[in-house]
Structure 1
Amino acid sequence: MFDGIYRWTLRLSESRHAPLALGAVAFAESSFFPIPPDLILVPMALARPQRAWAYATICTAASVLGGMVGYTIGALLYDTVGQWLIATYHYADKMEAMRAAYAQWGWLLILIKGLTPIPYKLVTIVSGLLGYNFALFVLLSVITRGARFFILAGLLNRFGDPIRGALERHFASILVGFLLLVGIGFYVATHAI
């Protein structure tokens, strides 16, 4: 099963539609979708290491734009879509603690959570809900999301062949590990500020 998923991901990464798919997933992940774009970015950058920087740029731009949508959901649609998303991720009981943390450390929370597997959509929605300075939110999003994707692209560009070999030999273990990391991110997001 995992071999089929790996081959499908590689075929997608080599398709002419791959940059569009990458951008769509990065956009959606920052506002409502649970799957991070790394699952597409990694095979794309491994298939075409010379394009890793372009792919990181696509991820960053789409993620920031998706973050703006998440911010808007928090600011304007919290009573409908925003509450549903927050409840889906079991974050409703953390809102008051998050409000207090944002008042003092909002910039740091955005920077740290944008680099981690903690779902960034929670940061974007909460930032809008709490009325965090929009221009500063966008600037911090560019910094944190850019750092995340460009660091990954740099590693894939530099160490692509050994990483590709490891993926081919241990794809199932790596995928399960990555999904566990995402699951831990969701857990941390619902049990910590």
Structure 2
Amino acid sequence: MFRRLYDWTMALSASPRAPYALGAVSFAESSFFPIPPDVMLVPMALARPNRAWFYAAICTLTSVVGGLLGYAIGALLYDSVGRWIIQFYGHGDGVEAFRAAYAQYGHWIILLKGVTPIPYKLVTITSGFAGYDLFWFVLLSLITRGARFYLVAGLLRQFGGPIRRILDEHFAAAMIVVLVGIVGGFFAFKYLF
């Protein structure tokens, strides 16, 4: 399944629709979608390394805009939609502790969580629920999401050839590492906060 997605994304990268698809996934991931945009960013940047920075910019901007939707869900719809999304990911018990931590460590929470495998949508929804300052939320989201996506793009631009060969030869092992990272992020959020 993942191999087909990888091959499809590699083929999509030559299409004029590629940036729109990447933006849609990045937007959705920041508020409700479970798959991170890296599953599209990595193959697209490998297929077209000269556009890696452009792809990172798309991911950054659409992720922050999607984060605003997550923030709105937390601020306006937490009791219905927001709580359901948080509970769907198995983190309903940790939200109150996470919300309380915003009073003292809000800046650091957004900065650190935005670059880790911890699902960013949980940060965006909780930020809205906690009433975190919207200006700081947007600014810190731009910094942390930008750092994450530009780091990935930079590594792929610099080492794309060897990375692509490794993915082509050991795709299953690479996907296991990615899945462990995603699942690890969910567990880290659940048990650390």
Query: TM-score category by the smaller chain?
Result: over 0.9
Q: Distance in 2 between matches of 1:3 and 1:122?
A: 28
TM-score by length of 2: 0.96
CA drift at 1:145: 0.1
Identity of counterpart residues, as a percentage? 61
Question: Which deviates the most, 8-17 or 111-120?
Answer: 8-17
Q: Which amino acid aligns with 2:64?
A: V
**Residue 29 of structure 1 aligns to which amino acid in structure 2?**
E
1:94-126, Cα deviation, whole Å (9 max, x unpaired): 122112211110110000000011000000000
The equivalent of 1:77 in structure 2 is 77
TM-score by length of 1: 0.96
Equivalent residues in 2 for 1:24-63, closer than 5 Å: 24-63=24-63
Structure 2, unpaired ranges of 5+: none
Moved more, 83-92 or 69-78: 83-92
For 2:58 and 2:3, locate their aligned partners in 1 and report how far apart those are by CA, in whole Å: 27
Rounded Cα–Cα distance in structure 2 between residues aligned with 1:84 and 1:4: 31
> Matches of residues 138-153 of structure 1 in structure 2 within 5 Å?
138-153=138-153
CA RMSD, Structure 1 to Structure 2 (Å): 1.1
Q: Are 2:36 and 1:23 equivalent residues in the alignment?
A: no
Count of matched residue positions in the alignment of Structure 1 and Structure 2: 193
Please tell me whether the aligned partners of residues 89 and 190 of structure 1 are also in contact (alpha carbons under 8 angstroms): no
Question: Could you tell which deviates more after superposition, 125-134 or 1-10?
Answer: 1-10
For residues 66 and 82 of structure 1, the distance between their equivalents in structure 2, rounded to whole angstroms, comes to 14
Mapped pair 1:11 → 2:11: yes
Q: 1:6–1:171: 8 Å Cα contact kept in structure 2?
A: no
Residue 189 (structure 1) aligns with: 189
**The residue matched to 1:34 in structure 2 has which SS?**
coil
